[in-house]
Amino acid sequence: MTKSTMQLKISNRLHVIRAEHRITQDQLAKAIGVTRATIVAIEGGGYNPSLELAFRLARYFKTDINAIFSVEEENK
């Protein structure tokens, strides 16, 4: 019997939400205290932000974290 491992796949809608608010990556980065490269990495799915950063993003856009990030379970 093999042991399966559950992994979480985190997706985000940051690019869409940012576009809806007509704000650039640079403007968002400066507003929440990170680099533009961090915003690029989050939007591209190459970086999952800390919980603190996820809350900063949600507060900036006056929404909850679930409106920006979603989680799917993957069995491996």
Give the pLDDT of residue 68. 98
Identity of residue 69: F
- Return d(Cα 43, Cα 63) in angstroms, integer: 17
Bigger pLDDT: 15 vs 3: 15
Is 11 domain-assigned?
A: yes
Task: Report how many domains make up the chain.
Answer: 1
Is 28 domain-assigned?
A: yes
Q: Which two tokens stand for residue 58?
A: 């949600």
CB 46 within 8 A of CB 36: no
Is 42 domain-assigned?
A: yes
Mean pLDDT across the stretch 26-48? 97
Residue 18 belongs to domain spanning: 7-67+69-73
Give the pLDDT of residue 1. 47
Task: Give the max Cα distance, the chain.
Answer: 52
Residue 5 has pLDDT above 90, yes or no: no
Is residue 4 very low, low, confident or very high in pLDDT (cuts 50, 70, 90)? low
